[in-house]
Amino acid sequence: MNITNLGTRDYASFYVACELYKQITQHPHSKLGLATGGTMIEVYRFLVELLSRNNIDVSGIETFNLDEYVGLVDNHEESYHYYMNENLFKRYPHFNASLIHLPNGNAERLDEEAQRYEALINQQGPVDIQILGIGENGHIGFNEPGTDINSRTHIVDLTYSTIKANSRYFEDEAEVPKQAISMGLSTIMQAKKIILLAFGEKKSIAIEKLLQTKLDSQFPASILHTHPNVEVYVDDASAQ
C-alpha cells in the first residue's frame, strides 16, 4: 500500500481524476468502481472537465457503484443514484445508461437484490480501478466494523457513528437511513487496482489507524493491506 500526501484536496482530486481519465482513454472498455460521499465530489468535477475538454467517448465504459442507502427514492437528494447523476452522469451525458450500475436500495426483496448485484459484478468484472473513500470508523463502502472479510454484496445495518457522520448531509439525524446495500469487502478486493482518498482533519484518525492496523475486522479498511495494488492519497489535514 502506498500512501501519498498530495497537499490539498484539489491536488489530490485532480490527480485521481487524471488516473480515471487515463484509464478511460487508454482502455475505452474499462470497468470502473465508483464511490460517493463528499470526498469524491471534486474528483468527478475534474473528471467531467477533462472528458468535456477532450470530447472523450465513454460509451464503452461500464461503472459499478459501491453502495446505496435502503429506502430512499432514487430522486431523493441524498440517494447515491441522485448523487451520481448530479455529479457525473448528467454533467457528462455520454455514458451508456445500460452500462451504469448501482445497487437498488428500494428493491422489494433486498437480499435478492444483493445477490443480483454481486452476480453482475462477478459476471462483468473485475473492475479495473475502484475508488474508495473511508468512514471515520474505517468503513469502506458501507462495510462497518465487524464485517466479515469474505463478505459479498449485502444488506448492512449502519452503525451510530456512520449515521451521525452522514447526518451532515441530511436535515436531521432522524432522516438518515438505518440500512444500506453495499458491495462486500471481498467484492471490493476483486478490483485490479484500488485508490482510496481521504481529506480533512476528521479523517486523520482513520488514516493513522489504517497505517497502524495490519488486518483487523474491527477496522474494515485494514483489509486493503492484503491487496497487491492499493494507492492512498491524502491532504495535509488528514495526514496530520
Residues serving a catalytic function are 67, 137, 139, 144
Closest residue (Cβ) to ligand GLP? 133
Q: Three cell numbers at 225?
A: 493491506
CB 230 within 8 Å of CB 2: yes
Instruction: List residues bridging with 143 in a β-sheet.
Output: 140
Query: Which cell goes with 232?
Result: 492512498
Which one of 4-12, 30-38, 51-59, 85-93 is the stretch in contact with ligand GLP (CB under 6 A)? 30-38
Task: Report if residue 166 touches ligand GLP, rule: CB under 6 A.
Answer: yes
* Residue among 39 and 63 whose Cβ is closer to ligand GLP: 39
Cβ proximity to ligand GLP, 25 vs 104, nearer residue: 104
Stretch that binds ligand GLP, among 18-26, 32-40, 87-95, 122-130 (CB under 6 A): 32-40
Of residues 34-53, which lie at the interface with ligand GLP (CB under 6 A)? 35-39
User: If binding is defined by CB under 6 A, does position 67 make contact with ligand GLP?
Assistant: yes
Q: Please report the DSSP string for 39-58 in residue order.
A: GGHHHHHHHHHHHHHHT---
Does 204 bind ligand GLP (CB under 6 A)? Our answer is no
Residue with Cβ nearer ligand GLP (38 or 60)? 38
181, HSE (Cβ side, Cα atoms, 13 Å): 26
Binding mask 99-138 for ligand GLP (x = CB under 6 A): ----------------------------------x-x---
Least distance between ligand GLP and beta carbon 122 (Å): 21
Q: Give the nearer residue to ligand GLP in terms of CB position, either 58 or 102.
A: 102
Residue of 138, 141, 177, 184 interacting with ligand GLP (CB under 6 A):
141
Site string for ligand GLP, 142-161 (x = CB under 6 A): x-------------------
Give 61: exposed, middle or buried? Use CB within 10 Å, 0-12, 13-18, 19+. Answer: buried
Stretch that binds ligand GLP, among 31-39, 86-94, 99-107, 229-237 (CB under 6 A): 31-39
Is residue 101 within 8 A of residue 120, CB to CB? The reply is yes
Do 239 and 11 form a contact (C-beta atoms < 8 A)? no
By C-beta, is 39 or 151 nearer to ligand GLP? 39
Q: Which residues form the interface with ligand GLP (CB under 6 A)?
A: 35-39, 66-67, 133, 135, 141-142, 162, 166
